[in-house]
Structure 1
Amino acid sequence: MSTIPGEFIGKWELDRHENSEALFAALGVPESLREKMASVKNTVDIREDDAVITIREGGLPGQPDRVQIFRLGEEREIESMFGKRLSVVTLEDGKLVRRNANPDEDIVRGYRQVIDGELVMTATVVKTGVTANAFYKKID
């Protein structure tokens, strides 16, 4: 049984992004690393098997992939760029929305949605409201 729309399923490659350097700056990432992060053509692979969703994100060269495994609506430790956090992922208006189980620990709020055949990942820094979008093209 599928719990997410089939359009999410597949492998995606970063095509372009908007405002990512400002987002990284708002998070305190050093400028030299911001440039490196902004130049990476990472991939995202989204799969679902028996209502268990797996999202594998390729990171910086030489770094291990981040793997997130969860069921919608259930609290799980989910890996992010800030380490593992107890989170809940829900499907809201066609968006995969991730929230920290403890809102006081929120650093970045984010969601994924498919618009016109592109996977769009939106992240907002909670303290500053700085938002960035990453746009992915399906490659598989």
Structure 2
Amino acid sequence: MAFAGKWNFDRSENVEEFLIAAGAPPDAAKQAISLTGSVEYSKSGDSYLVKTVSSGGTLERTIQFGQPFEMEIPGYGKKATVVGSNEGGKLVFRGSGADKITETREVQGSTMVVTLTKPGVAVAGKSFFSKA
């Protein structure tokens, strides 16, 4: 798994703009982009453990592809039911219901790019992480 290990946050592009266009309150979007930290991936059987450590705290999630789970959307101020999948080596998390935000995580060389998209929102938000 190309994602295995720890990744440190480097920078973001258009995340605040994306969150506001997707319906997040401007103050929550601004707070979300101020968070820095790391994310760590490990695999255990059919499950993946995703541990996020940021200036906002630590969050651990166990994910099984194809199984819905609840995820808080940073800067959006709410939780969404999400289904994860592996699509061509990319980790893709799709929200359901009114919050159809898709988060795609892709490794490009020594960089992990996290892209946020939503139908009807013209701008995509991106965060970049380097392998620790």
What TM-score bracket applies, with the shorter chain setting the length? 0.7 to 0.9
- Cα distance in 2 for residues equivalent to 1:117 and 1:86: 30
Number of residue pairs aligned between Structure 1 and Structure 2: 128
Code of the residue aligned with 1:29 in structure 2: it is P
- Cα distance in 2 for residues equivalent to 1:77 and 1:30: 26
Normalising by structure 2, report the TM-score: 0.81
Secondary structure of 2:50's aligned partner: strand
Structure 1 runs of 4+ aligned residues shifted over 6 Å read none
- Cα distance in 1 for residues equivalent to 2:79 and 2:103: 15
Rate the CA distance shift 1:87–1:117 in 2: closer, same or farther, 3 A: same
User: RMSD of the alignment, in Å?
Assistant: 2.1
Q: CA deviation at 1:83?
A: 4.5
1:14-33 deviation per Cα after TM superposition (whole angstroms, max 9, x unaligned)? 111111121122233324x4
Q: CA deviation at 1:87?
A: 2.4
- Which among 33, 39, 42 is matched to residue 44 of structure 1? 39
1:57-103 deviation per Cα after TM superposition (whole angstroms, max 9, x unaligned)? 234x3x43232211122x23232225443322111111111123xx4
8 A contact 1:106–1:126 mirrored in 2: no
- Which among 76, 99, 103 is matched to residue 94 of structure 2? 99
- Cα distance in 2 for residues equivalent to 1:114 and 1:30: 29
Which sections of structure 1, spanning at least 5 residues, go unmatched?
none
Identity %: 24
1:78 aligns with 2:70: yes
Matched ranges for 1:1-140 at <5 A = 5=1, 7-26=2-21, 27-31=23-27, 33-59=28-54, 61=55, 63-73=56-66, 75-81=67-73, 83-100=78-95, 103-139=96-132
